[in-house]
Homo-oligomer: A and B are copies of this chain.
Protein backbone atom coordinates (compact mmCIF):
# COMPACT_ATOMS: atom_id res chain seq x y z
CA UNK A 1 0.00 0.00 0.00
CA UNK A 2 1.27 3.43 -0.96
CA UNK A 3 1.20 6.84 0.70
CA UNK A 4 -1.62 9.33 0.82
CA UNK A 5 -1.17 12.78 -0.61
CA UNK A 6 -2.87 16.05 0.30
CA UNK A 7 -3.37 19.16 -1.82
CA UNK A 8 -4.17 22.65 -0.57
CA UNK A 9 -4.63 26.07 -2.17
CA UNK A 10 -3.84 29.38 -0.45
CA UNK A 11 -3.74 33.14 -0.93
CA UNK A 12 -5.55 35.27 -3.50
CA UNK A 13 -6.98 33.37 -6.46
CA UNK A 14 -5.65 33.38 -10.01
CA UNK A 15 -7.15 32.39 -13.34
CA UNK A 16 -4.96 29.27 -13.52
CA UNK A 17 -4.53 28.06 -9.92
CA UNK A 18 -6.91 25.18 -10.70
CA UNK A 19 -4.72 24.09 -13.60
CA UNK A 20 -2.02 23.36 -11.01
CA UNK A 21 -4.52 21.56 -8.79
CA UNK A 22 -5.69 19.39 -11.67
CA UNK A 23 -2.09 18.83 -12.80
CA UNK A 24 -1.29 17.37 -9.38
CA UNK A 25 -4.42 15.17 -9.31
CA UNK A 26 -4.05 13.84 -12.86
CA UNK A 27 -0.35 13.05 -12.34
CA UNK A 28 -0.85 11.52 -8.89
CA UNK A 29 -3.52 9.20 -10.30
CA UNK A 30 -0.84 7.67 -12.54
CA UNK A 31 1.44 6.64 -9.68
CA UNK A 32 0.87 3.35 -7.89
CA UNK A 33 2.80 4.75 -4.91
CA UNK A 34 -0.18 7.03 -4.26
CA UNK A 35 -3.13 5.49 -2.40
CA UNK A 36 -5.45 8.36 -1.60
CA UNK A 37 -5.59 11.89 -2.98
CA UNK A 38 -7.04 14.28 -0.44
CA UNK A 39 -7.95 17.91 -0.94
CA UNK A 40 -7.98 20.32 2.01
CA UNK A 41 -10.80 22.87 2.01
CA UNK A 42 -9.48 26.41 2.47
CA UNK A 43 -5.83 25.41 2.82
CA UNK A 44 -4.39 24.77 6.25
CA UNK A 45 -7.65 25.92 7.88
CA UNK A 46 -9.34 22.87 6.37
CA UNK A 47 -6.50 20.60 7.50
CA UNK A 48 -6.86 21.76 11.10
CA UNK A 49 -10.65 21.23 10.90
CA UNK A 50 -10.14 17.86 9.14
CA UNK A 51 -12.17 19.12 6.21
CA UNK A 52 -10.55 16.83 3.67
CA UNK A 53 -12.28 15.62 0.54
CA UNK A 54 -11.52 12.71 -1.76
CA UNK A 55 -10.13 13.93 -5.08
CA UNK A 56 -9.43 10.47 -6.52
CA UNK A 57 -13.01 9.93 -7.67
CA UNK A 58 -13.36 13.22 -9.57
CA UNK A 59 -13.96 12.39 -13.23
CA UNK A 60 -11.45 13.37 -15.89
CA UNK A 61 -14.06 15.47 -17.71
CA UNK A 62 -15.04 17.40 -14.60
CA UNK A 63 -11.43 17.96 -13.60
CA UNK A 64 -10.73 19.51 -17.00
CA UNK A 65 -13.70 21.83 -16.47
CA UNK A 66 -12.36 22.79 -13.04
CA UNK A 67 -8.90 23.40 -14.53
CA UNK A 68 -10.32 26.09 -16.81
CA UNK A 69 -12.28 27.78 -13.98
CA UNK A 70 -10.69 30.73 -12.16
CA UNK A 71 -10.30 30.95 -8.37
CA UNK A 72 -9.33 28.16 -5.96
CA UNK A 73 -11.71 25.21 -6.42
CA UNK A 74 -10.77 23.79 -3.00
CA UNK A 75 -11.22 27.15 -1.32
CA UNK A 76 -8.38 29.31 -0.09
CA UNK A 77 -7.14 30.94 3.13
CA UNK A 78 -4.76 33.66 4.27
CA UNK A 79 -3.82 32.11 7.58
CA UNK A 80 -0.28 32.09 8.95
CA UNK A 81 -0.09 29.08 11.25
CA UNK A 82 1.20 29.34 14.81
CA UNK A 83 3.51 26.71 16.26
CA UNK A 84 0.46 25.06 17.85
CA UNK A 85 -1.42 25.13 14.54
CA UNK A 86 1.53 23.36 12.90
CA UNK A 87 1.58 20.66 15.55
CA UNK A 88 -2.16 20.17 15.00
CA UNK A 89 -1.64 19.96 11.22
CA UNK A 90 1.04 17.28 11.67
CA UNK A 91 -1.37 15.33 13.88
CA UNK A 92 -3.89 15.32 11.03
CA UNK A 93 -1.17 14.21 8.60
CA UNK A 94 -0.36 11.30 10.93
CA UNK A 95 -4.01 10.38 11.36
CA UNK A 96 -4.68 10.34 7.61
CA UNK A 97 -1.25 8.85 6.78
CA UNK A 98 -0.40 11.79 4.58
CA UNK A 99 3.28 11.80 3.60
CA UNK A 100 3.15 14.20 0.65
CA UNK A 101 1.69 17.68 0.93
CA UNK A 102 1.33 19.91 -2.12
CA UNK A 103 0.66 23.53 -1.25
CA UNK A 104 -0.25 25.89 -4.11
CA UNK A 105 0.34 29.49 -3.12
CA UNK A 106 2.63 32.51 -2.91
CA UNK A 107 5.68 33.16 -0.76
CA UNK A 108 3.55 33.20 2.40
CA UNK A 109 2.44 29.66 1.58
CA UNK A 110 6.05 28.67 0.92
CA UNK A 111 6.86 29.95 4.39
CA UNK A 112 4.06 27.81 5.86
CA UNK A 113 5.42 24.83 3.92
CA UNK A 114 8.91 25.48 5.29
CA UNK A 115 7.71 25.71 8.90
CA UNK A 116 5.74 22.46 8.53
CA UNK A 117 8.66 20.69 6.83
CA UNK A 118 11.07 21.71 9.61
CA UNK A 119 8.67 20.65 12.31
CA UNK A 120 8.11 17.28 10.60
CA UNK A 121 11.90 16.74 10.52
CA UNK A 122 12.21 17.63 14.20
CA UNK A 123 9.51 15.14 15.09
CA UNK A 124 10.90 12.56 12.65
CA UNK A 125 7.65 12.33 10.71
CA UNK A 126 8.18 11.25 7.11
CA UNK A 127 6.70 14.22 5.22
CA UNK A 128 7.60 15.73 1.88
CA UNK A 129 6.25 19.12 0.98
CA UNK A 130 6.25 20.68 -2.44
CA UNK A 131 5.26 24.31 -2.85
CA UNK A 132 3.65 25.11 -6.21
CA UNK A 133 4.00 28.80 -7.07
CA UNK A 134 0.91 30.90 -7.74
CA UNK A 135 0.50 34.65 -7.67
CA UNK A 136 -0.64 37.46 -9.89
CA UNK A 137 2.04 39.70 -8.37
CA UNK A 138 4.93 37.71 -9.92
CA UNK A 139 6.88 38.38 -6.72
CA UNK A 140 8.16 34.85 -6.06
CA UNK A 141 11.93 34.43 -5.94
CA UNK A 142 14.00 32.13 -8.20
CA UNK A 143 11.32 31.34 -10.81
CA UNK A 144 11.54 33.30 -14.10
CA UNK A 145 7.89 34.22 -13.59
CA UNK A 146 4.97 32.84 -11.66
CA UNK A 147 1.86 31.01 -12.92
CA UNK A 148 -1.12 33.34 -12.59
CA UNK A 149 0.92 36.39 -13.52
CA UNK A 150 0.70 36.14 -17.35
CA UNK A 151 -3.13 36.00 -17.34
CA UNK A 152 -3.43 38.85 -14.84
CA UNK A 153 -0.87 40.82 -16.84
CA UNK A 154 -2.89 40.28 -20.01
CA UNK A 155 -6.00 41.47 -18.22
CA UNK A 156 -4.23 44.64 -17.05
CA UNK A 157 -2.80 45.25 -20.53
CA UNK A 158 -6.28 44.85 -22.07
CA UNK A 159 -7.74 47.17 -19.43
CA UNK A 160 -5.30 49.92 -20.38
CA UNK A 161 -5.82 49.25 -24.07
CA UNK A 162 -9.54 49.89 -23.56
CA UNK A 163 -9.01 52.76 -21.13
CA UNK A 164 -6.67 54.46 -23.59
CA UNK A 165 -9.30 54.25 -26.33
CA UNK A 166 -11.83 55.75 -23.92
CA UNK A 167 -9.31 58.42 -22.85
CA UNK A 168 -8.77 59.45 -26.50
CA UNK A 169 -12.51 59.69 -26.99
CA UNK A 170 -13.25 61.67 -23.81
CA UNK A 171 -9.91 63.24 -22.81
CA UNK A 172 -9.47 63.47 -19.03
CA UNK A 173 -6.82 62.67 -16.43
CA UNK A 174 -7.48 59.05 -15.52
CA UNK A 175 -5.57 57.17 -12.84
CA UNK A 176 -6.01 53.40 -12.70
CA UNK A 177 -4.89 51.62 -9.56
CA UNK A 178 -3.54 48.13 -10.24
CA UNK A 179 -2.99 45.31 -7.74
CA UNK A 180 0.57 44.99 -6.50
CA UNK A 181 1.67 45.28 -2.89
CA UNK A 182 5.47 45.03 -3.04
CA UNK A 183 6.25 44.34 -6.68
CA UNK A 184 5.30 46.38 -9.72
CA UNK A 185 5.21 43.58 -12.31
CA UNK A 186 1.42 43.68 -12.72
CA UNK A 187 1.19 47.47 -12.90
CA UNK A 188 4.09 47.48 -15.37
CA UNK A 189 2.10 45.15 -17.66
CA UNK A 190 -0.06 48.16 -18.48
CA UNK A 191 2.80 49.28 -20.75
CA UNK A 192 1.81 46.63 -23.30
CA UNK A 193 -1.09 48.94 -24.21
CA UNK A 194 1.36 51.54 -25.57
CA UNK A 195 0.78 50.63 -29.21
CA UNK A 196 1.27 54.18 -30.56
CA UNK A 197 3.65 57.00 -29.59
CA UNK A 198 0.78 58.87 -27.92
CA UNK A 199 -0.79 55.80 -26.28
CA UNK A 200 -1.29 55.53 -22.55
CA UNK A 201 -0.41 54.67 -19.91
CA UNK A 202 1.72 57.80 -20.14
CA UNK A 203 3.02 57.33 -16.61
CA UNK A 204 3.59 54.16 -14.58
CA UNK A 205 4.32 54.28 -10.85
CA UNK A 206 5.66 51.15 -9.16
CA UNK A 207 6.21 50.12 -5.52
CA UNK A 208 9.93 49.82 -6.32
CA UNK A 209 10.16 53.58 -6.84
CA UNK A 210 8.66 55.70 -4.04
CA UNK A 211 7.44 59.03 -5.38
CA UNK A 212 6.10 62.23 -3.89
CA UNK A 213 2.64 63.46 -4.79
CA UNK A 214 4.28 66.69 -5.97
CA UNK A 215 6.40 64.80 -8.50
CA UNK A 216 3.36 62.81 -9.68
CA UNK A 217 1.30 65.98 -10.08
CA UNK A 218 4.15 67.56 -12.07
CA UNK A 219 4.48 64.49 -14.34
CA UNK A 220 0.73 64.46 -14.93
CA UNK A 221 0.68 68.18 -15.67
CA UNK A 222 3.46 67.77 -18.25
CA UNK A 223 1.70 64.85 -19.94
CA UNK A 224 -1.58 66.74 -20.01
CA UNK A 225 0.08 69.74 -21.61
CA UNK A 226 1.56 67.48 -24.30
CA UNK A 227 -1.35 65.21 -25.16
CA UNK A 228 -4.41 67.04 -23.78
CA UNK A 229 -5.13 63.94 -21.72
CA UNK A 230 -3.30 61.62 -19.34
CA UNK A 231 -3.66 57.95 -18.45
CA UNK A 232 -1.71 56.80 -15.39
CA UNK A 233 -1.01 53.34 -13.95
CA UNK A 234 -0.39 53.25 -10.21
CA UNK A 235 0.41 50.15 -8.14
CA UNK A 236 -1.75 49.97 -5.03
CA UNK A 237 1.35 49.43 -2.91
CA UNK A 238 2.94 52.70 -4.06
CA UNK A 239 4.64 54.68 -1.30
CA UNK A 240 5.63 58.32 -1.05
CA UNK A 241 9.19 59.56 -0.58
CA UNK A 242 8.96 58.80 3.15
CA UNK A 243 7.83 55.21 2.59
CA UNK A 244 4.24 56.01 3.57
CA UNK A 245 1.62 54.15 1.45
CA UNK A 246 -0.25 56.56 -0.82
CA UNK A 247 -3.42 54.50 -0.80
CA UNK A 248 -5.65 53.77 2.14
CA UNK A 249 -7.72 50.66 2.54
CA UNK A 250 -11.34 50.31 1.41
CA UNK A 251 -11.45 47.06 3.38
CA UNK A 252 -12.87 47.21 6.83
CA UNK A 253 -12.75 44.43 9.36
CA UNK A 254 -16.04 44.24 11.17
CA UNK A 255 -14.69 43.62 14.64
CA UNK A 256 -17.12 44.56 17.41
CA UNK A 257 -15.53 46.36 20.31
CA UNK A 258 -12.53 47.72 18.42
CA UNK A 259 -11.82 50.76 16.31
CA UNK A 260 -12.32 49.55 12.77
CA UNK A 261 -11.80 52.22 10.17
CA UNK A 262 -8.07 51.82 9.61
CA UNK A 263 -5.61 50.02 7.39
CA UNK A 264 -5.93 46.37 8.25
CA UNK A 265 -3.19 43.79 8.06
CA UNK A 266 -3.69 40.12 7.33
CA UNK A 267 -2.08 37.52 9.55
CA UNK A 268 1.11 37.68 7.47
CA UNK A 269 1.39 41.38 8.39
CA UNK A 270 0.66 42.45 4.82
CA UNK A 271 -1.22 45.71 4.90
CA UNK A 272 -4.12 45.61 2.48
CA UNK A 273 -4.31 48.57 0.19
CA UNK A 274 -7.45 48.55 -1.85
CA UNK A 275 -8.78 52.08 -1.72
CA UNK A 276 -7.94 55.32 -3.34
CA UNK A 277 -9.36 57.88 -1.00
CA UNK A 278 -6.06 59.28 0.23
CA UNK A 279 -4.63 59.41 -3.28
CA UNK A 280 -7.83 60.98 -4.52
CA UNK A 281 -7.82 63.75 -1.95
CA UNK A 282 -4.09 64.46 -1.94
CA UNK A 283 -3.18 64.09 -5.59
CA UNK A 284 -6.21 65.63 -7.24
CA UNK A 285 -5.80 68.69 -5.03
CA UNK A 286 -2.19 69.09 -6.17
CA UNK A 287 -3.03 68.62 -9.86
CA UNK A 288 -5.91 71.05 -9.48
CA UNK A 289 -3.49 73.64 -8.12
CA UNK A 290 -1.03 73.17 -10.97
CA UNK A 291 -3.45 73.12 -13.90
CA UNK A 292 -4.93 76.43 -14.96
CA UNK A 293 -7.87 74.91 -16.86
CA UNK A 294 -10.91 72.85 -15.94
CA UNK A 295 -9.96 69.18 -16.19
CA UNK A 296 -11.77 66.09 -15.04
CA UNK A 297 -9.69 63.75 -12.87
CA UNK A 298 -10.91 60.22 -12.28
CA UNK A 299 -9.38 57.51 -10.09
CA UNK A 300 -10.51 54.02 -10.95
CA UNK A 301 -9.54 50.39 -10.46
CA UNK A 302 -10.11 47.29 -12.61
CA UNK A 303 -11.13 45.40 -9.43
CA UNK A 304 -10.97 41.68 -8.73
CA UNK A 305 -11.32 40.82 -12.41
CA UNK A 306 -7.54 41.22 -12.55
CA UNK A 307 -7.16 37.87 -10.87
CA UNK A 308 -10.46 36.09 -11.44
CA UNK A 309 -12.03 36.87 -14.85
CA UNK A 310 -13.63 33.77 -16.41
CA UNK A 311 -12.54 32.38 -19.76
CA UNK A 312 -9.60 34.75 -20.02
CA UNK A 313 -6.45 32.84 -18.97
CA UNK A 314 -3.50 32.97 -21.42
CA UNK A 315 -2.59 29.81 -23.26
CA UNK A 316 0.98 29.77 -21.92
CA UNK A 317 -0.17 30.49 -18.38
CA UNK A 318 -2.61 27.58 -18.47
CA UNK A 319 0.07 25.30 -19.86
CA UNK A 320 2.71 26.30 -17.31
CA UNK A 321 0.34 26.21 -14.32
CA UNK A 322 -0.53 22.65 -15.30
CA UNK A 323 3.14 21.86 -15.85
CA UNK A 324 4.24 22.97 -12.36
CA UNK A 325 1.47 20.86 -10.82
CA UNK A 326 2.45 17.79 -12.80
CA UNK A 327 6.15 18.31 -12.08
CA UNK A 328 5.50 18.74 -8.35
CA UNK A 329 4.19 15.18 -8.14
CA UNK A 330 7.06 13.82 -10.21
CA UNK A 331 9.67 15.61 -8.08
CA UNK A 332 8.05 14.48 -4.85
CA UNK A 333 7.56 10.83 -5.72
CA UNK A 334 10.75 10.26 -7.68
CA UNK A 335 13.12 11.96 -5.31
CA UNK A 336 11.33 11.96 -2.00
CA UNK A 337 12.42 15.55 -1.70
CA UNK A 338 11.01 18.93 -0.65
CA UNK A 339 11.11 22.21 -2.45
CA UNK A 340 9.34 24.79 -4.56
CA UNK A 341 8.75 24.30 -8.26
CA UNK A 342 10.23 27.04 -10.44
CA UNK A 343 10.04 27.93 -14.12
CA UNK A 344 13.10 28.34 -16.33
CA UNK A 345 12.85 30.24 -19.62
CA UNK A 346 14.60 28.43 -22.48
CA UNK A 347 15.98 30.85 -25.02
CA UNK A 348 16.55 29.20 -28.34
CA UNK A 349 16.23 32.61 -29.96
CA UNK A 350 12.93 31.81 -31.66
CA UNK A 351 9.81 30.41 -30.04
CA UNK A 352 9.20 30.86 -26.32
CA UNK A 353 9.71 27.67 -24.36
CA UNK A 354 10.05 26.90 -20.67
CA UNK A 355 10.94 24.08 -18.33
CA UNK A 356 10.64 23.42 -14.59
CA UNK A 357 13.13 22.76 -11.81
CA UNK A 358 12.99 22.41 -8.04
CA UNK A 359 14.48 24.95 -5.66
CA UNK A 360 14.78 24.83 -1.86
CA UNK A 361 11.80 26.11 0.11
CA UNK A 362 14.21 28.46 1.93
CA UNK A 363 14.85 30.25 -1.37
CA UNK A 364 11.24 31.30 -1.93
CA UNK A 365 9.73 31.48 1.57
CA UNK A 366 8.67 34.86 2.87
CA UNK A 367 10.88 37.24 0.86
CA UNK A 368 9.30 38.65 -2.24
CA UNK A 369 10.92 39.49 -5.56
CA UNK A 370 10.96 43.08 -6.84
CA UNK A 371 11.14 44.41 -10.39
CA UNK A 372 14.85 44.44 -11.34
CA UNK A 373 16.35 47.89 -11.92
CA UNK A 374 16.84 47.36 -15.66
CA UNK A 375 13.05 46.96 -16.10
CA UNK A 376 12.38 50.47 -14.72
CA UNK A 377 13.19 53.75 -16.46
CA UNK A 378 15.65 56.25 -14.99
CA UNK A 379 12.96 58.71 -13.94
CA UNK A 380 11.02 56.03 -12.07
CA UNK A 381 7.75 56.76 -13.89
CA UNK A 382 7.80 54.14 -16.62
CA UNK A 383 9.37 50.87 -17.77
CA UNK A 384 12.09 49.86 -20.22
CA UNK A 385 11.98 47.81 -23.40
CA UNK A 386 13.76 44.99 -21.54
CA UNK A 387 10.60 44.52 -19.48
CA UNK A 388 8.42 44.31 -22.58
CA UNK A 389 10.78 41.68 -24.02
CA UNK A 390 10.39 39.72 -20.78
CA UNK A 391 6.59 40.05 -20.69
CA UNK A 392 5.44 39.82 -24.30
CA UNK A 393 5.98 36.05 -24.85
CA UNK A 394 4.00 35.31 -21.67
CA UNK A 395 1.03 37.51 -22.52
CA UNK A 396 0.90 36.95 -26.27
CA UNK A 397 -0.34 39.53 -28.73
CA UNK A 398 -3.12 41.94 -27.87
CA UNK A 399 -6.11 42.25 -30.22
CA UNK A 400 -5.76 44.61 -33.14
CA UNK A 401 -7.04 48.13 -32.53
CA UNK A 402 -8.46 50.20 -35.39
CA UNK A 403 -7.86 53.96 -35.77
CA UNK A 404 -9.37 56.12 -38.49
CA UNK A 405 -6.61 57.01 -40.96
CA UNK A 406 -7.74 60.57 -41.51
CA UNK A 407 -7.66 61.52 -37.84
Contacts and interface: CB of A to CB of B under 8 A. Distances in A.
Interface of A: 9, 12-13, 18, 39, 41, 53-55, 57-59, 62-78, 158-159, 161-163, 165-166, 168-170, 174, 176, 250-256, 260-261, 274-277, 280-281, 284, 287-289, 291-305, 307-311, 398-407
Nearest to A170: B76
A253 B296 contact: yes
Contacts of A309: 158-159, 162
Contacts of A298: 250-251, 274
15 contacts: A18-B402, A53-B406, A68-B399, A72-B169, A73-B169, A73-B403, A73-B404, A161-B310, A163-B304, A250-B300, A252-B288, A254-B288, A254-B295, A302-B302, A302-B305
Nearest to A172: B251
Contact of A300 (B70, B73, B304): B304
Nearest to A252: B284
Contacts of A73: 169, 402-404, 407
Nearest to A274: B298
Contacts of A163: 304-305, 308
Contact of A66 (B158, B287, B404): B404
B310 A13 contact: no
Contacts of A165: 13, 69-71, 308, 310
A398 B165 CA distance: 26
A300 B300 contact: no
B176 A303 contact: yes
A274 B297 CA distance: 11
A176 B170 CA distance: 25
Given A165-B13, A298-B274, A311 B158 contact: yes
Contacts of A67: 402
A353 B241 CA distance: 59
A166 B70 CA distance: 8
A310 B399 contact: yes
Contacts of A261: 281
A174 to B, nearest CB: 8
A162 B192 CA distance: 24
A172 to B, nearest CB: 9
Given A18-B402, A301-B301, A402-B69, A308 B254 contact: no
Given A300-B304, A309-B159, A309-B162, A406 B54 contact: yes
A66 B402 contact: yes
A403 B68 CA distance: 10
B255 A294 contact: yes
A65 B310 contact: no
Contacts of A159: 303, 305, 309
Contacts of A311: 158, 399
A404 B74 contact: yes
A11 to B, nearest CB: 9
Contacts of A68: 399-400, 402
A58 B401 CA distance: 15
Given A71-B166, A294-B254, A298-B250, A55 B305 contact: no
